[in-house]
């Protein structure tokens, strides 16, 4: 699933607010929040795209990689994940 992310005025503040709250999350909680979005799917709401963008930044800061991608203006994710030895691993299903 993907979303075309066109930046709007005020987006940076919203992303910063999400990132501030993510600072209190453990890595396990961050993965849980991400997997919840994967299960729901990208629904086409701009605010969700900002949330995913903030998750992407937080994963990159903590792990140097992210399962949320941004290619030019195309935002998406690769599917459910787990962390193994401080690396992101794509799960085959939500029940793994």
What's the average model confidence in pLDDT over 3-20? Answer: 97
In a domain, 96, yes or no: no
Burial of 81 (0-12, 13-18, 19+ CB in 10 A): buried
- Is the pTM value of this prediction over 0.85? yes
| Beta strands at 2-4 and 81-84: parallel, antiparallel or unpaired | unpaired
Q: What domain range includes position 38?
A: 2-90
Average confidence (pLDDT) over 36-59: 96
Q: Is residue 21 part of a domain?
A: yes
95 falls within a domain: no
The pLDDT score that the predictor gives to residue 1 is 80
Q: How many domains does the chain have?
A: 1
């Amino acid at each position: 699933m993907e979303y075309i992310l066109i930046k709007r005025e005020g987006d940076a503040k919203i992303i910063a607010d999400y990132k501030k709250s993510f600072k209190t999350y453990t890595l396990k909680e961050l993965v849980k929040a991400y997997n919840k979005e994967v299960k729901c799917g990208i629904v086409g709401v701009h605010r969700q795209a900002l949330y995913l963008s903030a998750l992407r930044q937080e994963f990159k800061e903590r792990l140097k990689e992210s399962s949320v991608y941004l290619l030019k203006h195309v935002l998406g994710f690769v599917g459910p994940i787990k962390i193994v030895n401080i690396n992101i691993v794509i799960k085959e299903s939500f029940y793994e």
